[in-house]
Structure 1
Amino acid sequence: MKKKIVLGIAIVLSVASIFTACSKSENSGEDESLKYVQEKKEFILGLDDSFPPMGFKDESGEIVGFDIDMAKEVTSRMGVELKLQAIDWDSKVLSLDKKDIDCIWNGLTITEERKENIEFSNAYLENRQVIIVLADSTIDTKADLKDKVVSVQAGSSGKDAVSGESDVLDTFKELREFSNYTEALMDLSAGRTDAVVIDEIVGRYYMSKKAGEYKVASEDFGGEEYGIGFRKGELLLAEEVNKILQEMKEDGTSAKISEKWFGEDIVK
């Protein structure tokens, strides 16, 4: 009888130890983000490929841009291959969480709301949400947007900035959302929209391609900073990228890339 009881206890303890081990393995929270990228030797960058000058398709269909050149240098120093993956910007966090991509690196604004779902790198660029209108427009302040059609990109920090000022938003005739800023600015040029709230870095790039067509209003929807987004809790990968970005700043590499795209060094 005692042998049977002892054997039963042994079996129970054995099973319990197996479940405990599995539980520890599943819930240890061990961060293998850097190891994951290193072992597959591939770093997948998610982006909206119509967001110049950060990441966009050139005339030959190749994805180029400031963020792309920065990422190429980072992944080269990491010893992994860079793969570019166009995503639906409005579903960027879902793409990240599903591991379709390893990061979001495309002029991604750091916000407290986004920090709840995204692990951010250190900020590397400063930006503003500006109001772009046609050159002959009388719009110059946020008050001038009363009864006007204002456009933003869906899921963008521009939309968040406008939504955060409900007293201004409530005066609009309509807040119109587009899948990308190229479409929003085309709508503005066609006279179907009165203004576009857009990242200053991106907006001024578009303006440089169509001199005299647009202007920037004197008021804006606030300043912000760009960062690289990783899966929540994946600190080791973020820290490795931060380390390399700092090295690039110190050895002048990031300055050269910035001068190529902006004519000056604007990297933080």
Structure 2
Amino acid sequence: MTKKPIAIFATFGVCLGVSALPAHADAWQDIVQRKTLKCGTFADVPPFAAPDPKTREMVGFDVDMCKTLAKHLGLTAAVTPLSVEARVPEVQMGRVDVTIANLAYTTSRADQIQFSDSYYVAKEMLAVKASNSASSPTELKGKRLSSAKGSTSELSITLNGSEPVTFQDTGSAYMALQQNKSVGMVANTMTITKLVNQSKTAGSELKMLSQPMLLEPVAIGMKKGESVLAEKVNAALMEMDKTGEIDAMWAKWLGLDTEFKMTREEHVQPISAIKFTPIP
């Protein structure tokens, strides 16, 4: 009679010990065992990630980043195309190990996933007509500025104290500026660069102001709580930066010999080291 309770207690103790174990194995160990890094990119957003018209294979800056990151980790990259909206949920649910899809840091995203160090800082830039004497966004406080509706461009206009005039796409925002429905338009650096170049041969010529409207650190997204994976990714990013591999990929897809003509000014650094106003 006295032995049965002891046996029950012992069994209960074993069960309690099992239930205290982690619900899943460490993500890094899972990745090492399968020898593959599941990497989420854009489905069709060139030059970051899009199907090659000839081979139908995914190509672009973010695809190259995935493959190079995997190589530094001793793994093979498995690229999974994602919609813009799925970039955070897919990594949050563990369907991909990392998201490399021009993913900008925001406070709401940081509540859901963890970010690596930033490997470049995206900028929301302001274009005005070349005849406009303004040299900084602060000179256009209270003025009408056009942008895509619901974008961080629209948010930057509000933060600047200007009046947003929004449209469903950047093309319409551009036409609003050309038709004097706004005194400027805001979009990311690549878009503004293309439109400024376009304006040199059609419509009123534009210029891009040098001071950004908003800074957005771009980094790799990972599931929260995976500290080993985060450490591995950050170490690999730093090595990729030191070897010039990120610079080479940038030059290929975004550099001065491309239609975007962008210069990579920032290098790999912790997001906490960047002076910027976080987007909600």
TM category (shorter chain) comes to 0.7 to 0.9
Instruction: State the partner residue of 1:180.
Output: none
> How far apart, CA to CA, are the structure 1 residues paired with 2:60 and 2:49?
4
1:124 deviates by 0.9
Q: Equivalent pairs: percent with the same residue?
A: 19
Matches within 5 A, 1:21-60: 21-26=18-23, 32-60=26-54
Instruction: State the partner residue of 1:198.
Output: 187
Does structure 1 conserve the Cα–Cα contact (< 8 Å) formed by 2:120 and 2:264? no
- 2:170 maps to which of 185, 200, 214: 185
Where 2:236 maps in the other structure, the secondary structure is helix
Normalising to structure 1: TM-score of the pair? Answer: 0.73
1:220 deviates by 4.2
> How far apart, CA to CA, are the structure 2 residues paired with 1:172 and 1:260?
34
> How far apart, CA to CA, are the structure 1 residues paired with 2:172 and 2:53?
21
Does structure 2 conserve the Cα–Cα contact (< 8 Å) formed by 1:119 and 1:235? no
Q: Using a 3 Å threshold, how does the CA distance of structure 1 residues 160 and 107 change in structure 2: closer, same or farther?
A: farther
Matches within 5 A, 1:1-268: 4-26=1-23, 32-60=26-54, 61-132=56-127, 141=137, 142-143=140-141, 146=144, 150-152=147-149, 157-158=152-153, 161-162=156-157, 165=159, 167-168=161-162, 171-173=163-165, 175-176=166-167, 184-188=169-173, 197-200=186-189, 202-204=190-192, 206-207=194-195, 210=198, 212=200, 215=206, 217-218=208-209, 220-261=212-253, 262-263=255-256, 266=265, 268=267
Where 1:224 maps in the other structure, the secondary structure is strand
1:176 deviates by 4.2
Q: Using a 3 Å threshold, how does the CA distance of structure 1 residues 128 and 40 change in structure 2: closer, same or farther?
A: same
Q: Using a 3 Å threshold, how does the CA distance of structure 1 residues 139 and 240 change in structure 2: closer, same or farther?
A: farther
- Which residues of structure 1 form unaligned runs of 5+? 178-183
Q: Using a 3 Å threshold, how does the CA distance of structure 1 residues 221 and 69 change in structure 2: closer, same or farther?
A: same
Q: Using a 3 Å threshold, how does the CA distance of structure 1 residues 235 and 66 change in structure 2: closer, same or farther?
A: same
Q: Using a 3 Å threshold, how does the CA distance of structure 1 residues 20 and 225 change in structure 2: closer, same or farther?
A: same
> How far apart, CA to CA, are the structure 1 residues paired with 2:40 and 2:133?
35
State the Cα deviation string for residues 145-193 of structure 1 (Å, max 9, x = none): 53x65315x6x64455456x2954xx335x445xxxxxx2344466699
State the Cα deviation string for residues 10-63 of structure 1 (Å, max 9, x = none): 21331233133222333xxx8712222222232222233443433334544543
Where 2:47 maps in the other structure, the secondary structure is coil
Does structure 2 conserve the Cα–Cα contact (< 8 Å) formed by 1:45 and 1:84? yes
Where 2:96 maps in the other structure, the secondary structure is coil
Q: Using a 3 Å threshold, how does the CA distance of structure 1 residues 267 and 50 change in structure 2: closer, same or farther?
A: farther
> How far apart, CA to CA, are the structure 2 residues paired with 1:40 and 1:12?
39
Does structure 2 conserve the Cα–Cα contact (< 8 Å) formed by 1:109 and 1:157? no
Does structure 2 conserve the Cα–Cα contact (< 8 Å) formed by 1:96 and 1:102? yes
Normalized per residue, the structure richer in helix is 1
- Which range is displaced more, 82-91 or 114-123? 82-91
Does structure 1 conserve the Cα–Cα contact (< 8 Å) formed by 2:47 and 2:61? yes
**CA-based RMSD:** 3.5
